Amino acid sequence: MVVDGLDLDVPTGEIVGLIGANGAGKTTTVECIQGLRKPDTGQLRVLGFDPVTQAEQLRPLVGSQLQHSALPDRLRVAEALDLFSTARARDGGELLEQFGLTPRRRSAFSSLSGGERQRLFLILALLNRPRLVILDELTQGLDPAARRNVWAAIRQLNDEGTTVLLVTHEMDEAEALCDRVAVMRAGQVIDAGAPADLVERHASTAVIRFSLPDPPAQLLDQVRRLDGVREVSRSGARVTVRGHRRIVAFVCAALVRCEQVPSDLAIYQPGLEDALLGLLDGDQGEQPGRPASAAVTSGHSELIGGRQ
């Protein structure tokens, strides 16, 4: 995938997510950031360094866990930690314990499961206390409990001041971890912002459904007049209310006041996945409120983690 005029700013100390469909250019972007690919044009700075011409200065400051990482089959887990350790390294034993790999410290890489390999690469990315960590499909292949442990580790790392660039297809992961996300399509950032802001711009409609055998007309009229309600429909005993996300509290309060709290009350609140689908399926030229910071620049200006 060609990355075309990407404008991406990852401020120091933030967790920033890159999201988008397969082939959007996310992995190509992080490969350029690490100096694994050379951009054809434009300016790229990572922690103030050019990743192509100043790789030696930059390499000790960046940790990475890439989607297609690999190690020699016969290399043992403990040997991998020794191999990648520098003077800045954390206690490898503590990291193995934190990520549940202590029993596997003498195991060869080839004997590890997919989830164990993923955890090992994450340990190696965090080992040398990097200022910037790049994570590509962070929790792919992990069970739910392991995912939560990894999330907690990333939050702790960020609390200590490390900048994190996270490439993910898991929208719950992006919502749980990221201060800001950038949505990519066809090699360009088409919108960026806090997860809640993207949901507000591109997927703000909530749906409330409930059944009342004989709903009072007064109740339905009151619901229709609520701020943010766009539509109230009824099919037999079934009532459906659509509107801005804020209507959830108002509609529930109206039901309580009328002493009509249905047992089958169901609420659908849109999330980041809905916003992403809205962005990728919609006409980007007509999206309201798109911030200038998300625009693609003709000058191909790129800055990663550059605010000191």
CA distance 97 to 81: 13
Q: How many residues are given for the chain?
A: 308
Strand order in the sheet with 238-244: 229-235, 238-244, 205-211, 266-268
Residue 2 banded pLDDT, cuts 50, 70, 90: low
What's the CATH fold of domain 205-268?
Answer: Alpha-Beta Plaits (3.30.70)
Cβ-contact 198, 183 below 8 angstroms? yes
What confidence category does residue 294 fall into, taking pLDDT thresholds of 50, 70 and 90? very low
Q: Could you give the C-alpha distances from 204 to 18, 107, 222, in angstroms and in order?
A: 21, 49, 21
Confidence of residue 301 (pLDDT cuts 50, 70, 90): very low
Q: Which amino acid is at 255?
A: L
pLDDT at 99 exceeding the cut of 90: no
Domain boundaries, the chain: 9-199+293-304, 205-268
Kindly tell me if the per-residue pLDDT of 292 is higher than 50.
Answer: no
pTM here is 0.79
Task: Give me the mean pLDDT over the 285-292 stretch.
Answer: 34
Structure tokens at 105: 């410290």
pLDDT score for 270: 94
The rounded radius of gyration (Å) of the Cα atoms in the chain is: 24
Locate 184 and state its tokens. Answer: 């990519």
Could you tell me which CATH class the domain 9-199+293-304 is placed in?
Answer: alpha beta
pLDDT band at 305 (very low <50, low <70, confident <90, very high): very low
Write out the E strands in the chain: 9-10, 15-19, 43-46, 62-65, 132-136, 163-167, 180-185, 188-193, 205-211, 229-235, 238-244, 266-268, 301-304
pLDDT score of 300 more than 80: no
Q: Give pLDDT tens digits for 113-149.
A: 888 888 898 899 889 989 999 998 878 777 888 888 8
* Section 20-24 average pLDDT: 85
User: Average of pLDDT values for 70-79?
Assistant: 94
pLDDT level of residue 293 (50, 70, 90 thresholds): very low
Q: Looking at residues 227-244, what average pLDDT do you find?
A: 94
Q: What is the mean pLDDT of residues 279-305?
A: 41
Q: At what angle do helices 114-126 and 144-159 cross, to 10 degrees?
A: 10
Contacts of 121 (CB under 8 A, 6+ apart): 65, 66, 69
Question: How far is Cα 108 from Cα 76, in angstroms, rounded to an integer?
Answer: 4
pLDDT of residue 208: 97
Give me the mean pLDDT over the 203-207 stretch. 94
Mean pLDDT (the chain) is 84
Kind of pairing, strands 188-193 and 238-244? unpaired
| pLDDT recorded at residue 307 | 38
Q: Which of 2-11, 100-109, 221-230, 275-284 shows the lowest per-residue confidence on average (mean pLDDT)?
A: 2-11
- 56-61 LR contacts (CB < 8 Å, sep 24+): 60/86, 60/88, 60/128, 60/130, 61/130, 61/131, 61/132
Q: What is the pLDDT of residue 7?
A: 72
Confidence at residue 288, expressed as pLDDT on a 0 to 100 scale: 35
